[in-house]
Structure 1
Amino acid sequence: MDGVSKHFFYRPSNAYIKGSRKRRMIQSECLEGTTWHKTGRSLGIKVNGRYAGWKKVLVLHTRYGDTRYNTNWVMHQYHLGEQPEEKTGVLDACKIFYKTEKRTKSRTVR
């Protein structure tokens, strides 16, 4: 929570055999129900006019009882390829950090 980011590699796997949804649940007894949720759409990374990779932004959601809460933990997941969906079993680079300030949306009043 001191503003430092950590980098690591992650090997995605499918949550179901016949599905394309990725398994992003935290595997821990004390963090049961804690998962990474993708926010927004995948952002393309172009090199010489062609897509060389993609970036996904994920936010950690945790559960207290029946209620889910967003946390300030954010993960940027990067993978190579021309398609926005990552391939199962291929390493992705990830950056995780704690967002210290809340981003506010400006709204215009008419």
Structure 2
Amino acid sequence: MAHGGARPGAGRKKGSRNRKQVDWNGPLVVDPSALAPDRDALSGMTLKDLETCSPLTFLTHIYRNRGLAAAIRADAAKAALPYAHARLAAPREDQPALPGLDNGWGDDLPPMNRRN
């Protein structure tokens, strides 16, 4: 059996489109001409506000905009996650245990009466 080299029918077909091109060919739900000329079509923010806003604020305006397609809103929400919710770090081995867990606190409790 041959190893490596060109195989007939393998690879990307000629004339096929990129995945991003296929996803973004549809029209936006918002009509940009309906917006004021000083407003952004995606976020609905004024152009002056866009100059000073943070990435989280911009993405929040996009995923809360009900006039946009659901795919665009979902992508904006996924992009905003690292800014809004940090990932939990794995516990380190050199990290000490919480104080008071193994200090014999059971001695401070009153004795339990057993009923049969």
Question: Aligning the two structures, in what range does the TM-score lie when normalised by the shorter sequence?
Answer: under 0.3
Higher relative contact order (CA 8 A, sep 6+): 1
- Quick check: which one's helix share is greater? 2
- Quick check: which one's strand share is greater? 1
Work out which of the two has the higher radius of gyration on C-alpha atoms and give 1 or 2. Answer: 2
